[in-house]
């Protein structure tokens, strides 16, 4: 029979969990600034190939230390291949390519609507999520925010900004598809599909980088190399480890709070480090996206209490 823990025990766990949640939001929010600096002198394909290879290797080492075994079933690795396409190969490359012309702050906002698009996918395809007034508000607000961020100014000239921004939206659709497809890994340690998909992604991207970019001929700047190291270690490998830790303590619902926390954090980092600024329509879009994602990810009070009971380690 389960025992109810004292409120003080929950409070003691809440403080470090909150700090880790803020850390995770910061690491993932900063990734757009790291990418923007990295692609200044490193081609997008090579940048992402290095990111997946190094981060995947770090996660494999972490799994070995934690004595978490990788599955050997060929069918599981086929699913890793699909997950790699949806969660790293395609979206990572699209975002890196787009950030050669799109500012990091705008990329952060456009890419933050993945929970909204994921819900649309589940509602239209798998139909395991009901359409509630709360979810409907989140969908409308999130999509409206994307439209405001893109704005009519993107259609000026030949539309290079528009194409790049649409590439980020396409990457967001991929992330949404990855979230839906991720249900196929139920029963596995979260580290397994993360490391497996990154390694598969590296197996696809590294040969392409060698052929297309010939990395040995490149002359990246120290700033780009430092950004690549930070992107790989902090925003990918360490961020995943923190994510796994939070899934165990906060549960899946609580951990999704990073989806809306990382938006203002990522925008603030890009404005501070890169000196970027947002247009009035982008600020309005930021507010709509945050409101929409919050509505999609923050459960009602009753659901939070039920989730806390289900995720209790003493259950």
Residue 312: per-residue pLDDT: 36
Measuring CA to CA, how many Å separate 218 from each of 37, 47, 276?
A: 16, 11, 27
Residue 275: per-residue pLDDT: 87
Residues present in the chain in total: 315
* Exposure string over 75-95, b if 16+ CB within 10 A, otherwise e: ebbebbbebbbbbbbbbbbbb
* Cβ 297 vs Cβ 259: under 8 Å: yes
Nearest CA to 273 among 29, 57, 44, 78?
29
Please state which of the ranges 30-34, 100-104, 137-141, 250-254 shows the lowest mean pLDDT: 250-254
Confidence band for 40, pLDDT divided at 50, 70 and 90: very high
**Residue 313 pLDDT > 50:** no
Confidence band for 240, pLDDT divided at 50, 70 and 90: confident
Residue bearing the bigger pLDDT, 278 or 56: 56
Residue 2: per-residue pLDDT: 42
Distance of CA 152 to the CA centre of its chain: 27
pTM for this structure?
A: 0.77
Measuring CA to CA, how many Å separate 113 from each of 121, 139, 140, 186?
A: 13, 9, 11, 24
Cβ within 8 Å of residue 296, ≥6 positions away: 115, 116, 119, 135, 138, 139, 142
Residue bearing the bigger pLDDT, 205 or 149: 205
Distance between CA atoms of residues 293 and 176, nearest Å: 13
**What value does the mean pLDDT take over residues 51-64?**
93
Residue bearing the bigger pLDDT, 87 or 256: 87
Residue 151: per-residue pLDDT: 62
Confidence band for 304, pLDDT divided at 50, 70 and 90: very low
Measuring CA to CA, how many Å separate 75 from each of 71, 81, 184, 203, 308?
A: 10, 10, 11, 17, 34
Q: Helix, strand, coil shares of the chain as percentages rounded to 5?
A: 80, 0, 20
């Amino acid at each position: 029979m389960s025992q109810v823990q004292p409120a003080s025990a929950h409070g003691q766990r809440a403080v470090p969990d909150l700090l880790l949640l803020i850390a995770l939001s910061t690491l993932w929010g900063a990734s757009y600034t790291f990418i923007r600096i990295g692609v200044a002198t490193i081609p997008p394909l090579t940048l992402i190939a290095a990111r997946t290879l190094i981060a995947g290797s770090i996660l494999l080492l972490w799994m070995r230390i934690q004595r978490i075994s990788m599955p050997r079933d060929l069918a599981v690795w086929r699913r890793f291949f699909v997950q790699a396409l949806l969660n790293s190969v395609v979206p990572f490359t699209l975002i890196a390519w787009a950030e050669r012309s799109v500012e990091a702050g705008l990329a952060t906002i456009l890419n933050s609507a993945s929970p909204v698009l994921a819900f649309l996918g589940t509602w239209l395809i798998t139909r395991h999520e009901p359409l509630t007034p709360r979810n409907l508000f989140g969908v409308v607000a999130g999509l409206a925010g994307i439209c405001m961020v893109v704005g009519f100014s993107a259609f000026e000239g030949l539309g290079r900004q528009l194409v790049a921004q649409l590439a980020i939206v396409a990457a967001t659709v991929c992330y949404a598809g990855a979230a839906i497809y991720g249900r196929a890994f139920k029963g596995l340690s979260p580290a397994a599909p993360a490391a497996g998909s990154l390694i598969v992604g590296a197996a696809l991207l590294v040969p392409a980088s060698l052929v297309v970019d010939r990395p040995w001929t490149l002359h990246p700047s120290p700033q780009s190399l430092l950004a690549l190291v930070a992107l790989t270690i902090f925003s990918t490998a360490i961020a995943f480890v923190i994510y796994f830790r939070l899934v165990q303590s906060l549960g899946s619902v609580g951990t999704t709070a990073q989806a809306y926390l990382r938006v203002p954090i990522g925008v603030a980092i890009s404005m501070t480090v890169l000196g970027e600024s947002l247009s009035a329509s982008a600020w309005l879009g930021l507010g709509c996206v945050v409101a929409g994602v919050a509505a999609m990810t923050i459960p009602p009070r009753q659901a939070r209490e039920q989730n806390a009971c289900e995720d209790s380690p003493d259950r």
